[in-house]
Amino acid sequence: MTDQLRTPAIEALEAAGVPFHVVQTEIARSAEESAAFQGIPVGSLLRSILVRRAADDFFFVLVPGGRRFNWPALRALLGTNRLTLPTEEEAKAETGYVRGAITPFGARRPWPVIADATIERLEVVAIGGGARGVNVHLAPADLVRATNARVVDITVPEPAPAQEPALAQEPAPAQEPAPAQEPAPGS
């Protein structure tokens, strides 16, 4: 699908016969900036987050922009009490990709994929293309089929930005800390 740019992710997509379009942009500083560079809504951006279930047992969680995964729901889905995020170095060793370019496509090992159910409402999703500033756009159904993703309701909306002090509401109940997330695709 592209004659110019070659990454393991792009090569894996081509080998699988998945229809996609490569979008290369400057490196974004935020999900909003990445979405603007790509001309798509922020909710169409997918972060590929590598999560560790146990030693040498990882999986990818695909999280749309503006959302974060729900730790208790994820633990319940996987039947475990403990999940952790690998260090940047561990994630690179497992996937072959640097943070901000991580994708299940062309990863060193084919770890299972869990995709949030909200992607099914989208026409197109953008996921890392294997290098910073490189994204691939494809239909959610093609992404699910190509990764054999398990599609479940696994995310919650990101909290709204803090309001002005005069407009502040009562604090929300304490929640489990949000995971350290991968930077937005293309960042």
Within 8 A by CB and 6+ apart from 15, the residues are none
Burial grade of 66 (CB within 10 A; 0-12, 13-18, 19 or more): middle
Q: How far, in Å, CA of 11 to CA of 17, rounded?
A: 10
Single pTM value for the model:
0.81
Give the CATH number for residue 53. Answer: 3.90.960.10
Residue 154 belongs to a domain: yes
Half-sphere exposure of 187 (CA within 13 A, CB side): 21
| Tally of structural domains, the chain | 1
Residue 99 belongs to a domain: yes
Q: Which residues constitute the domain of residue 29?
A: 20-158
- Supply the pLDDT for residue 103: 95
Residue 172 has pLDDT above 50, yes or no: no
- Supply the pLDDT for residue 177: 45
